[in-house]
């Protein structure tokens, strides 16, 4: 098989240059970057990225699963499943999307843009999956696999060093109950999207303080994402009990009042 001829960077747009892939069909890239809010403001708009997100999710799962299978030949199915979750979590995908500046390339409705859509974790994670789907359709499995493994290289290196699963909800509860007896509570804020792409948003609250929010395709996934975000933000530190102040030295007793 002949080696691939590198595409000159001068023929790539900034996003293609960053991801290291030149699209043959530029419409696939445009579709991957089009948020569903565009069709709400522009009637009869031809596409959005939800179908590519659906496809990209499957490709991502396959690539990560195959790589884990080869990387950890002695691990059971259960351990491999937990490791895969660490790579394809919404928080992880959001970080990968941010690393390539994906939010700045998205097309979205004015309302979504004004409300912070370009930095919303769920939007960025979905856009990353859509980009994977577009690369798969445009260049095939090998191109999609190369892109995914380039972007997740650090994740797999960390797994090789620390393969044991970290449970965000359990870790958060352990930290908080060392400060106060009450456990963190998770509340569902919203549900949206079609059945095959249902999106949940929830928040984690402790001692009346909202610690973080998270989103995912299930209630459980949204709770895990919220716990992960809370562990990163560490907003509870302001509530930790301060150390008691050292007692002031006693002075001489005041003289008794004279009649």
Q: List pLDDT tens digits, range 48-86.
A: 999 999 999 999 999 999 999 999 998 889 889 888 988
**CA gap 147, 142 in Å, rounded:** 9
Are 29 and 64 members of one domain? yes
174 and 114 within one domain: no
Question: What are the backbone angles phi and psi of residue 258, rounded to the nearest 5°?
Answer: -90, 150
What pLDDT score was predicted for residue 87? 87
Q: Same structural domain for residues 22 and 150? A: yes
Looking at residues 2-25, what average pLDDT do you find?
A: 74
- Whole-angstrom distance between the N-terminal and C-terminal Cα of the chain? 111
* 157 and 172 within one domain: no
**Minimum mean pLDDT among 43-47, 96-100, 132-136, 164-168: which range?**
164-168
Shared domain check, 148 and 184: no
Across the chain, mean pLDDT equals 85
Whether 57 sits among the annotated catalytic residues: the reply is yes
- Shared-domain flag, residues 182 and 142: no
Total domains in the chain come to: 2
* pLDDT of res. 194: 82
Neighbour-count burial for 190-228, b at 16+ CB within 10 Å, e otherwise: eeeeeeeeebbbbbbbbeeeebbbbbbbeeebbbbbbbb
Same domain, yes or no: 41 and 100: yes
Instruction: Tell whether the model's pLDDT for residue 211 goes beyond 90.
Output: yes
Can you tell me the mean pLDDT for 89-94?
Answer: 85
- Give yes or no: residues 99 and 178 share one domain: no
173 and 124 co-located in one domain:
no
Active-site residue among 48, 53, 112, 129?
129
Q: Is residue 121 domain-shared with residue 150, that is, in the same domain?
A: yes
Contact 169, 157 (CB under 8 A): no
- Is there a domain that residue 2 lies in? no
Yes or no: say if 193 and 249 are a contact pair by the CB < 8 Å rule: no
Q: Which CATH number fits the domain that encloses residue 55?
A: 1.10.1520.10
Better pLDDT: 89 or 103: 103
Q: Catalytic residue among 57, 112, 151, 201, which?
A: 57
* 190 in any annotated domain: yes
Residue with the bigger pLDDT between 61 and 253: it is 61
Q: Is residue 131 part of a domain?
A: yes
162 is catalytic: no
- Residues 119-165: tens digit of each pLDDT: 988 899 999 999 999 999 999 999 999 999 999 999 898 888 877 66
- Write out the residue range of the structural domain in which residue 227 sits: 168-239
Report pLDDT for 162.
76
pLDDT tier, 35 (very low <50, low <70, confident <90, very high otherwise)? very high
Check whether residue 33 and residue 53 sit in a common domain: yes
Q: What is the pLDDT of residue 206?
A: 93
pLDDT at 47: 87
Order of all β-strands in the sheet with 199-206: 185-192, 199-206, 209-216
CATH classification of the domain holding 178: 3.30.160.20
* pLDDT recorded at residue 165: 62
At 243, is the pLDDT very low, low, confident or very high (cuts 50, 70, 90)? very low
Report the DSSP pairing between strands 209-216 and 185-192. unpaired
> In 3D, which of 184, 161, 194 has the Cα closest to residue 236?
184
Query: What is the per-residue pLDDT for 9?
Result: 52
Q: Are residues 125 and 205 in the same domain?
A: no
Q: Which among 112, 143, 161 is the end of a domain?
A: 161
In a domain, residue 247? The reply is no
pLDDT, position 203: 95
């Amino acid at each position: 098989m002949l080696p691939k001829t590198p595409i000159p960077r001068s023929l790539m747009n900034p996003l293609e240059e960053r991801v290291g892939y030149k699209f043959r069909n530029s419409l696939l890239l445009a579709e991957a970057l089009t948020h569903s809010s565009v069709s709400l403001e522009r009637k009869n708009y031809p596409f959005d990225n939800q179908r590519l997100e659906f496809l990209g999710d499957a490709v991502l799962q396959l690539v990560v699963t195959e790589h884990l299978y080869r990387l950890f030949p002695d691990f059971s199915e259960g351990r491999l499943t937990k490791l895969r979750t660490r790579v394809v979590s919404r928080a992880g995908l959001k970080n990968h999307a941010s690393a390539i500046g994906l939010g700045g390339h998205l097309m979205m409705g004015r309302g979504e843009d004004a409300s912070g859509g370009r930095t919303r974790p769920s939007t960025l994670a979905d856009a990353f999956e859509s980009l994977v789907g577009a690369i798969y359709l445009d260049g095939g499995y090998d191109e999609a696999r190369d892109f995914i493994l380039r972007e997740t290289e650090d994740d797999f290196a960390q797994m090789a060093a620390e393969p044991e699963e970290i449970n965000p909800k359990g870790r958060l509860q352990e930290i908080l109950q060392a400060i106060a007896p009450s456990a963190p509570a998770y509340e569902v804020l919203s549900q949206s999207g079609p059945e095959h792409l249902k999106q949940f948003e929830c928040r984690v609250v402790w001692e009346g303080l909202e610690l973080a929010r998270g989103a995912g395709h299930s209630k459980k996934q949204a709770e895990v994402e919220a716990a992960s975000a809370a562990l990163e933000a560490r907003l509870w530190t302001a509530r930790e009990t301060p150390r008691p102040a050292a007692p002031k030295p006693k002075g001489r007793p005041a003289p008794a009042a004279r009649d």
